[in-house]
Structure 1
Amino acid sequence: MVPEIQENVSDFIIQGLSDTPGLQLPLFVLFLIIYLFIIIGNLLIFFIILLNSDLHTPMYKFLQNLSIIDISFTTVVLPDLLHLLITKKNKISFFGCMTQMYLYLSLNGNEYFLLMIMSYDRYVAICDPLHYINRMSEKCFAWLISAANCAGFLGSVCHVVLISKLSYCHSHLINHFFCDLIPLLKLSCSDTFIIEILTYVVGTLLAGNSFLLTLISYIYIISTILKIQSTHGRQKAFSTCASHLTCVIILYMTLICLYMKPTTSYSPNRDKFFSLLCIVLVPLLNPLIYTIKNKEFLIAFNKLRQKVKSFVFPDETQID
């Protein structure tokens, strides 16, 4: 039997994470707590950097931008997932689905490009510290951030336009917890060869090149660190880029597992797992791994905490 094709799809049905009724509430509580931690942690980073002039350096400004991307990235998916878990309403309009997919892909791309720029920043700081101020000037910083945003938001336009033109079979059940690229391709009755090729080409040109540039930066960084004579100096230099390297490894592993493969090897449960890692794990860990051993940030945090304490409890401050 020839599958029924519907040219003008009005909505899709999101399957979600689990069909087991007993898991809906525990999953809702778990992801609500995670989402709140992501929002609070990344907002804390943003405002501590904003309110402390000592942290108005390129490295911390990049981190500030990363915190905004992480908040936006998780907000594209997690609130809808929470709504689905608590209300069981799993319909999403065609326009809402395309919008969610575009924002997800764009913000995901922004994060990869920003991490690439941050690796260049660490390369200049460690390998060419005498020229750091000139090479990472305000003008250069603005140009790099603008380039990352443009590449992220423009790189996903073709995918969304082509997918929105596809015809879909009678079943509009998306076997995922949000509108992602591969699950939508699996639903289509149209030929998706061009979109798959475009995914590999864009992935190779943009994500592949950004990974290559990040890798080259770290080859030079590690080479320079190994030449430092003192053990303390090597540890200090490595500590400034270890957290960034951790995020890079996690993000690129999830990217390769999710998109750099043919749709014939698509596995819904595996893709849901890697999508969760990408959406939840990295934004949750960023506030911790970038700040927990960062002395400058901890000093700024303590200053802000004292200011808040003196504002809320002025009498106790005077007694101290």
Structure 2
Amino acid sequence: MECVDLHADPGALERGGLWFVVADFEGAERGGRARAWRFAESGPPPAPRAWRGPRPDRWRSSSDQQEYEAAVSTVRARVRSGDVYQVNVCRVLSAELSPEGSEPSAAALAHRLAQGNPAPYAGAIHVPAGSGVDPVWVVSASPELFLRLDQGIVTSGPIKGTATTAAGLSAKDRAENVMITDLVRNDLQRICEPGTVGVDRLLAVEQHPGLVHLVSTVSGALRPSASPWSDVLAATMPPASVSGAPKRAALGIVDELETEPRGPYCGAVGWVDADQGAAELAVGIRTFWWSDGVLRFGTGAGITWGSDPRAEWEETELKARRLVALASGAECDP
């Protein structure tokens, strides 16, 4: 097994082999990490043991409702003053989880989420501590495509707009999705052939367990001169849909308002097949990560001038409710 630091050696993903990637939202300049692992051939993984998560009353939030709504009001003021158009404001839920043995079973939680909350970009990456390389423990039920690379075409599927039913999607949701779709288009133009970047699908409604999303699709032809991963990650991280617009200004406000690092939440989770020139990375939303005896889960919402603080808090609750319940032992009909 091999592990590389992608900030220090992004070219590793171009030297061949199948790699599994976890990139933190914060990035190197903010103390975050982007790493990739390559595994030796081995037999099938063991069957997952039963998942035993924290009790429902053990979860704590990095921001309570009053603090989160105040952050929403702050962003609205910054929009009014012309600093930004949109900022994604998040909070991190955490609960102590120190199982018998060294680490909880990522495979067990992944199996549980697959049964109760199937997602198109779900996955789990677990490298145990003490294995000789950097450890990682991430389980994601992501519904969102960050980047797909296939035969030189790079595709992204930003999500903006969430409601319990399609009828609940608002004009604010649609405006926010268009805004972020344009930001993704701008990101891809930095690495794609001029004239090839286009919006293939705009404002499509996708049904997911317990909620619906507005999803758009943007694609372009990667420039032959582009170094696929050093250039691609530099141009697109962190993902536009979980940052804001303009991205640099939005990230500065995120730093001001959020009290805990997001880590792999809102980063990227997925795989790169350097031999085939193919990859699929999910935006690390609906994602659990575990370290130092604590299980964490992030949830957030995109804030614009049209945001209502109470409604944005409720959106973060909606996004977290089902998955946190599953991680806490509840049974959910898929």
User: What TM-score range do you get, normalising by the shorter chain?
Assistant: under 0.3
TM-score w.r.t. the length of structure 2 is 0.24
Higher strand share: 2
Higher helix share: 1
